[in-house]
Amino acid sequence: MSGSAWNTWILTLVTFIPLAGAVLLLFLPRRDRDIKWFALFVSLITFALSLHLPTYLHRGQPGFQFEINIPWIPTPNIHYHLGVDGISMWLVVLTTFLTPLCVLISWKSVHERVKEFFILLLILETALLGVFVSLDLFLFYFFWEFTLIPMALIIGMYGHERRVYAAVKFFLFTMIASAFMLASIIFLYAKTGSFDYVTIQNAVRDGASFGITGHALGWLFLGFFVAFAVKVPIFPLHTWLPDAHFEAPTAGSVMLAGVLLKMGTYGLLRFNLGLFPDQSRQNQSWIMVLAIIGIIYGALVAMVQPNLKKLVAYSSVSHLGFVVLGIFSFTQLGVDGAVYQMLNHGVSTGALFMLAGIIYERRHTFDLDEFGGLATPMPIFAAFFLFITLSSLGLPLLNGFVGEFLVLSGAFQAKMIWGILAASGVIWSACYLLWMYQRVFFGKVKHSVNNTLPDLSARERAALWPASIAALVMGVAPVLWLNIIDPAVHSVLAPLAQTTAQVVR
């Protein structure tokens, strides 16, 4: 295949190879070992192909690349339109990076309906990738809703005691919120006759010619915002998240925290800021307040959690508050940091959930009081846990520091009080994460069973090493990512700068 053909079809291959692998798994005999190796092979192939994107992306060039745009359904006017820019491309790579790690971490923890589990995991990967590459709003909404099915089934079939309750709650919250986005998409199609993202973007900016009033744009903004706010989730729409995280199996929690929540922050950036710059500016203040409340509230609730997994779950509410803060700072530094923090959170929190799953396999509990002194019987596990904990709290030279520094810099530029309040979240995160580490690994071994816990196996180390290396490289060489992110962010912020200039005049 020629280079140009690769560029045309690479997004299709990356998106649908996991789905093809899931279909092939249906025909494999129920030999668990063969199924696991095949799922790992498919996920690794997908990751390898996704590396074509950062390798051949034209750096410094804004706009969408690797585009394919083929008419699909004539009435309504739906196109098979895929493309990525410097924002969505890294989320594609993050998804393909985490999936093989999820396969490895689930190797021993899934004992029943093994074939179905890995089929659902591969289907989920395709659905998530489709969200980030779709440039047709119908296609985007299809993949957006499609993610609910495999994720809900993974939680409901392979989770813990209250798994069905958590799966139904997750499904209902996100599906009901998505109905508001669907109404907005249908309205835009009725006015423009197209689902194409760029076409709608141009039409919205010339709303008078299409009969789209400023009042209508305000409601459209809110329609998209509600769907994305629940998915992030933004306080106070976060109540489904702790239950979903706690009840989900380890791989479900990793994909949920690592990628699924980024659908919300990606949507805020791509659609709310991208389509409705004026309305984004008008609603900035109260959204920033909710983001700051989420940062502080999530951290404080995490501090009082007696449960390891719920503590990490509430840390997601806090950390994703930083992402929303950076997006709605409307500054280059803030939005660059928000995109980078999406990737950081996927790596660090995904690894924290893997570590929590590893200890659960040995003790079958997440209760922090059941641990203590584990650094003695499990020194390698303790070293990995400390490294990932430090990356999550934002230690300099690790990935979390870069994202939080850029977000806070952008927040200070936008309004000093926002930066001051958000900065307190960094202190709280250090408190709950370091206290968690102390309770699990230091002091005397409280329960005799902990003395005999085995340290990490080669498979578990193989799952944790890539995340740890990524956390380090992203901390010492962020320019590798930011050089690609920056032009895409600049193109998103350009209309917002014009809005500000018009207000000033």
pLDDT-derived band at 501, boundaries 50, 70, 90: very low
Q: Find out whether 247 and 165 touch, Cβ atoms under 8 Å.
A: yes
Assess if residue 27 is contained within a domain: no
**pLDDT tens per residue across span 150-192:** 999 999 999 888 889 999 999 999 999 999 999 999 999 988 8
pTM of the model: 0.94
In this prediction, residues 446-459 reach a mean pLDDT of: 87
Task: Please name the helix (run of DSSP H) or strand (run of DSSP E) that holds residue 262, with its range, or none.
Answer: helix 261-267
Separation CA 105–CA 385 (nearest Å): 15
Q: What is the DSSP letter of 222?
A: H
Task: Please name the helix (run of DSSP H) or strand (run of DSSP E) that holds residue 78, with its range, or none.
Answer: strand 78-84
Assess if residue 219 is contained within a domain: no
Task: Please name the helix (run of DSSP H) or strand (run of DSSP E) that holds residue 483, with its range, or none.
Answer: helix 479-504
CA 437 to chain centre: 24
Give residue 503's pLDDT: 42
Give residue 92's pLDDT: 96
Q: Find out whether 323 and 338 touch, Cβ atoms under 8 Å.
A: yes
Assess if residue 2 is contained within a domain: no
Residue 2 predicted with pLDDT over 60: no
**pLDDT tens per residue across span 410-425:** 999 988 989 899 998 8
Separation CA 407–CA 327 (nearest Å): 8
Assess if residue 222 is contained within a domain: no
Range of the domain at 430: 283-505
Cβ neighbours for 119, distance < 8 A, ≥ 6 positions apart: 22, 25, 26
In this prediction, residues 6-20 reach a mean pLDDT of: 91
Residue-averaged pLDDT of the chain: 90
At 71 the three-state DSSP class reads strand
Separation CA 89–CA 93 (nearest Å): 6
Assess if residue 305 is contained within a domain: yes
Cβ neighbours for 342, distance < 8 A, ≥ 6 positions apart: 91, 94, 262, 265, 266, 323
Separation CA 270–CA 236 (nearest Å): 22
Residue of 215, 221, 310, 204 lying closest to 268 (CA atoms): 221
pLDDT-derived band at 452, boundaries 50, 70, 90: confident
In this prediction, residues 125-131 reach a mean pLDDT of: 95
pLDDT-derived band at 1, boundaries 50, 70, 90: low
Assess if residue 451 is contained within a domain: yes
Assess if residue 167 is contained within a domain: no
Which amino acid belongs to residue 119? I
- Range of weakest confidence among 88-97, 138-147, 354-363, 364-373: 364-373
Give residue 194's pLDDT: 87
Residue 94 predicted with pLDDT over 80: yes
pLDDT-derived band at 148, boundaries 50, 70, 90: very high
Separation CA 421–CA 401 (nearest Å): 17
pLDDT-derived band at 66, boundaries 50, 70, 90: very high
> Taking every pair of C-alpha atoms in the chain, what is the biggest distance, in angstroms?
74
Report the alpha-carbon angle 400-404-409, nearest 5. 150
* CA contacts within 13 A on the Cβ side of 467: 35
Assess if residue 134 is contained within a domain: no
Give residue 351's pLDDT: 94
How many folded domains does the chain comprise?
Answer: 1
